[in-house]
Amino acid sequence: MNKPANVLTNNAANGCTQEGANDCRRTPARRTIGTRVLDLLRTAWFGATGRISRTILASLGIALGVAAYVALSGIAASNQAALLARLDALGANLQVVTPGQDSSGQSVPLPEYAPDTIARQRGVERVGVFLTAPSGVQVFKNEFVPFTNGNALAVAVMRPGALDAVGAGIAQGHVINGDNEHLPVAVLGSEAAYRLGVTAPGDRVLIDNAWYGVIGILDAVPQAQDIDSSVLIGAEYALAHYADQADAIGQISRIYVRTRPGSAEALRHMIAHAANLSGGNVSVTASANLSEARNTTDDALTSLGLMIGAIALAVGGMSIANMMIVTVMERRGEIGLRRALGATRGSIRMQFVTEAALLSAIGGLVGVAIGAGAAVGVAAGTRQPPALDWAGLPIAWAAAVMVGILAGLYPASRAARMTPTEALRGE
């Protein structure tokens, strides 16, 4: 009986002749890669969720490991941020630029452009300028204090914004700014206010036989202790009031430079060059010990966080490995049946590795959520800045999955090495 024309046509289109048509019909159609992957995932899912208690226990191990990693690293990062912020407040990222000296020992004045060129440097956050104080000036509470009773208080002439660069806090009142620097007003350092007996703004002090209204009192400034015993006045008023000393007062006495945290030492030479582009000598001093301590603390706490994370993930990986070994022993009958039906060692190995990855993925998600919540909660309870690396949470989850895969390699290889007879006999 002749074959229909359409059958022959299809066989010919598939590269089959009439004589080989029967062989073509017996050749099974190839399954696509997507289908094989879906079958693998489906098989692994059924294996992973076949016993809910086993799945919970296996996922719990990696969940606790990831939660410990995220929580401890987040808590350590919060403590680290709080400590580094304290070191920065003490002057770890504060540098002071003052006039240098030439070869003959003469002072080299800072150029007027120095604050602007320093402020344009990358890594510099704020710049504060203090001018030269008028000579022979004394500060007293009132006119009844004998002039022979010196109180060792200094007068500092500041431009607006100088105290922001220093990081000085205002205990009471407000600072000198563009609205009041032309007026006879003063801001007292904490020690100066104590010696003068001034307890609140609104009082006045006598500076060189002229009355100045006190508009603010500073907190203690540990990073610039000379300010504590100083009386600060505005640059515009000082230049107008001491017209005979205007040229001397107009020279910059020091520039406070607040840099990006952790970059003080790296910017030191750059700041010195920017302060005097002609190459004149410039003195740049910083709290070198604090800066070094800050960098050392930062590195030590970062290393500690990484070690804690590695230990936590290793513990979770061991839990996955132990649970997968037990799973292989419990499912020897299934392994033997699949091998008898034609499953290769590679498919058995991939099945159990995929199961381990699924368990790790589930546990990783739970662990990330628990750890992040714990880290934020502890930071809020201790009033520290939450410093959890949110962008690193997906990396922590991926690391958990990778640990699960590595932990599942040995149990999967053990399952793949079983012969059908050995597996069925053990069952």
Say what the pTM is.
0.56
So what's the pLDDT on residue 320? Answer: 64
So what's the pLDDT on residue 20? Answer: 46
Mean pLDDT of the chain: 78
- Report pLDDT digits (tens) over 157-183: 999 999 998 888 899 999 999 999 999
Provide the strand spans (E) within 102-209: 107-108, 124-131, 139-140, 154-158, 170-173, 185-188, 204-207
Domain ranges of the chain: 34-85+296-426, 93-287
Rounded to an integer, what distance in angstroms lies between the CA atom of residue 233 and that of residue 403?
Answer: 64
- Report pLDDT digits (tens) over 320-353: 667 666 666 666 667 777 777 777 777 777 877 8
Rounded to an integer, what distance in angstroms lies between the CA atom of residue 67 and that of residue 378?
Answer: 14
Contact criterion met (CB below 8 Å) for 91 and 248: no
Rounded to an integer, what distance in angstroms lies between the CA atom of residue 16 and that of residue 28?
Answer: 14
Rounded to an integer, what distance in angstroms lies between the CA atom of residue 133 and that of residue 328?
Answer: 83
